Amino acid sequence: MASICIDEKKCIGCSLCVRDCPNHCLYLENNKAHVLPSGCIACGHCYAICPALAVQMTAYPIQDTPTVSMSSLDSQVMLAAMRSRRTIRHFTQEKVSQEAIHSILEAGRYAPTGGNRQNVAFTLLGSKQQEAEAICVKLFRTAKRFGSPFVPFLKQVDITDDFFFKGAPLVIVISSSSEVNGSLAAAYMEIMAESLGLGVLYSGFFSVCCAVSRKLKKLLHLPKGNKVVTAIIIGHPAVKYQRIVPRKPAQATTL
């Protein structure tokens, strides 16, 4: 059954939705749009493009909210900001506001997913943050003691009690059945957090611990079929960088 329906009284027969449907499940008949019984992935292109609000997405509440184009942002300022971003490992004790958390989650929720699967979940560690970090610290201290060949650099670092989350007030674990979809969501969330004046650290080490620790998996209560893609550690930065660092030239090829 299709995830959308057309209000024929409102439909003006412009065919914009028909031409824009990525799965070709809309057609025009008698100057009205119609939906095929299968193939719809509820991507919302038809809903977004309809000038008459004739498309209804049956599984979602209707919100006639105007779009905002990325072109309304200053592209050079945006590029400079993206080039200026740094991974933050030093945070203040200031908490992240609920308004900021909501905006960060909204950014992740609206990140693209293949086939509009929307198969990304977000777990805020909250009261379990200290317990989760303790599990990870124990794992890494054990690995260091036995000289793990998988993380050789452990020989030269001190695995402190805040080694994983750096004392930051907010940790969001991003899980999905698709590593690509989870990574896209994380990138959207980082950009939003940065725009709010927050600092972000991607914790690859935490993802490693999640892959091997049953105790950690149990604590997280991930949706069935999901695996941890990454965790983003978020807080107010306690360090300020003064300049953009150099990078190697882009490896871009025109065929």
Are both 100 and 144 inside the same structural domain?
yes
Task: Give the residue numbers spanning the domain of 41.
Answer: 4-57
Based on the domain organization, do 173 and 95 belong to the same domain? yes
Report CA-CA distances (Å) from 198 to 2, 29, 38, 192, 206. 41, 52, 44, 9, 20
- Considering the domain boundaries, does residue 245 fall inside one? no
197 falls within a domain: yes
**Do the Cβ atoms of 161 and 53 come closer than 8 Å?**
no
- State the Cα–Cα distance between residues 62 and 183, nearest whole angstrom: 28
- Residue 254 placed within a domain: no
Whether 111 and 217 map to the same domain: the answer is: yes
**pLDDT band for position 56 (cuts 50, 70, 90):** very high
In a domain, 255, yes or no: no
CA torsion angle 207 161 96 71 (round to 10)? -40
Summarised one tens digit per residue, pLDDT across range 7-40 is: 999 999 999 999 999 999 999 999 999 999 888 9
Kindly tell me if the per-residue pLDDT of 93 is higher than 70.
Answer: yes
Answer yes or no: do 27 and 108 share one domain.
no
In a domain, 178, yes or no: yes
By C-alpha distance, which of 228, 203, 205 is closest to 144?
205
Q: Are residues 165 and 221 in the same domain?
A: yes
14: CATH? 3.30.70.20
Give domain status of residue 242, yes or no.
no
In this structure, is residue 244 part of a structural domain?
no
pTM, full prediction:
0.92
Q: Looking at the structure, tell me whether residues 164 and 204 fall in a common domain.
A: yes
pLDDT average, residue stretch 50-70: 90
**Distance in Å from the first CA to the final CA of the chain:** 42
Over 70: is that where the pLDDT of 200 sits? Answer: yes
Q: What is the pLDDT confidence band of residue 1, given thresholds at 50, 70 and 90?
A: low
